[in-house]
């Protein structure tokens, strides 16, 4: 084995190590199936590099086809892992079409018009396009955390480096003379060096993202109400303060919701039935809120929703929609002769008002609705007389 081949083995060896690391991470977090795409990507890259280094399968044609498929599969699998982690459900047609086109061009430049230089251009620039297409999909996935932005920029940089590196090495390096010349060319050295760096940076970035995802999930579990899946009081207060601090989320309104005569449901039908009612009401709230709104169960049968960008009239209409849905809902956990209803209190945030003060005003409106006969919505009188126009 030549010194060049030994040097070239560094990248696939690193890939195998990271494949094992990703596999261990997946074994500890099996529900994160997207990690398996990173395992597959690392394995495919190791195989692709080994295919070229050891010229197996033998013959330029079979070797070209095998290595091209493996390299393209490496990029596609890595990109799919990134997209699945981001939770994007967008179609993959542009990426698939690009992958097919790249492979077709590699084959054309061997079987139709034999040109090693053009094959290298097609494969390397094509892989760059695949990385760039994945980065565009990530940008449109809408995740805004710092680590998500880092993943985007690292993925984009990984794709963009293919273009200048390939052009400079092929146009200004020593001309490639056959297969032997390929392994001694400036392109071969620059490719292996850059791919080692790119693979290390990509793999370490993804591992950091997975670790931070796990930390965020642990925090989220601590802020989640186990029964309804909504936020609990602590989670609500943390999220609500962020919303109220954002000028773009103003105006903002708060809606308190309390299930009427809930103690009677527990006493007559048991706590299991009461839990199913709570779950159903929580589900109705979750189905009615918009992205950006914050809903929580803050204790017993009491729920709260912070509506961003909603004035008092909009919040009142929201509360009425939920109230009517609760009233019309068929609760299979209770007897037919016992209707489940809820009362609502609504308050719009005043300029500079703190979250506790806003919650106290909405809570006061809730108890006014209770005293007024239940199954109704009461709006804060600080914003006009009587109920808002609905």
* Whole-angstrom distance, CA of residue 170 vs CA of residue 172: 6
β-strand pairing of 342-348 with 377-379? parallel
Give CA separation, 103 vs 49, 179, 217, in Å: 17, 20, 39
Ramachandran angles phi, psi of 343, nearest 5°: -110, 150
- Residue 301 annotated to the active site: yes
φ, ψ for residue 255 (rounded to 5)? -125, 120
Would you say 34 and 85 are in contact if contact means Cβ atoms under 8 Å apart?
A: yes
For residue 117, what are the CA distances in angstroms to 101, 120, 122, 186? 17, 5, 9, 13
Catalytic residue among 80, 137, 237, 301, which? 301
ω into 57 cis (within 30 of 0): yes
Contacts of residue 127, Cβ cutoff 8 Å, sequence gap at least 6? 71, 72, 75, 102, 159, 162
For the sheet containing 302-308, what is the strand order?
Answer: 294-299, 302-308, 252-259, 342-348, 377-379
| Tokens at 131, concatenated | 């990385």
Q: Which residues contact 107 (CB under 8 A, 6 or more apart)?
A: 64, 65, 68
Do residues 307 and 314 make contact, with C-beta atoms less than 8 angstroms apart?
A: yes
Is 225:296 a contact under the CB 8 Å cutoff? yes
Residues 368-371: contacts with CB under 8 Å, at least 24 apart? 369/343, 369/344, 369/345, 370/258, 370/260, 370/343
Catalytic residues: 301
């Amino acid at each position: 084995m030549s010194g060049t081949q030994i040097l070239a083995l560094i990248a696939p060896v690193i890939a195998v190590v990271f494949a094992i690391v990703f596999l261990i991470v997946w074994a500890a977090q099996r529900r994160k199936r997207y990690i398996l795409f990173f395992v597959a990507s690392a394995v495919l890259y190791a195989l692709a590099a080994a295919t070229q280094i050891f010229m197996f399968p033998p013959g330029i044609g079979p070797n070209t086809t095998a290595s091209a498929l493996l390299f393209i599969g490496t990029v596609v699998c890595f990109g799919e892992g990134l997209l699945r982690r981001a939770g994007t459900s967008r179609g993959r047609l542009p990426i698939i079409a690009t992958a097919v086109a790249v492979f077709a061009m590699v084959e054309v430049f061997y079987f139709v018009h034999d040109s090693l230089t053009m094959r290298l251009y097609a494969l390397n620039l094509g892989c760059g396009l695949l990385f760039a297409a994945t980065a565009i999909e990530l940008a449109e996935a809408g995740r805004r955390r710092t680590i998500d932005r880092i993943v985007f920029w690292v993925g984009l940089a990984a794709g963009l480096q293919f273009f200048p590196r390939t052009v400079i090495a092929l146009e200004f390096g020593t001309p490639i003379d056959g297969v032997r010349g390929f392994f001694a060319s400036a392109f071969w050295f620059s490719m292996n060096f850059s791919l080692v760096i790119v693979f290390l940076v990509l793999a370490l970035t993804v591992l950091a993202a997975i670790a931070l995802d796990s930390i965020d999930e642990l925090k989220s579990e601590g802020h989640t109400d186990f029964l309804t899946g909504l936020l609990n009081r602590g989670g609500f207060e943390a999220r609500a303060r962020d919303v109220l601090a954002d000028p773009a989320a103003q105006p903002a309104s708060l809606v308190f919701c309390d299930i009427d005569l809930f103690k009677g449901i527990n006493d007559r039908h048991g706590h299991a039935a009461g839990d199913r009612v709570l779950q159903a009401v929580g589900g109705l709230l979750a189905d009615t809120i918009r992205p950006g709104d914050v809903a929580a169960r803050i204790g017993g049968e009491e729920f709260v929703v912070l509506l961003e960008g909603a004035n008092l009239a909009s919040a009142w209409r929201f509360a009425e929609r939920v109230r009517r849905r609760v009233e019309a809902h068929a609760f299979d956990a209770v007897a037919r002769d016992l209707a489940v209803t809820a009362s609502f209190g609504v308050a719009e945030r005043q300029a500079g008002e703190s979250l506790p003060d806003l919650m106290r005003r909405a809570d006061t409106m809730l108890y006014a609705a209770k005293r007024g006969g239940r199954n109704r919505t009461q709006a804060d009188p600080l914003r006009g007389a009587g109920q808002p126009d609905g």
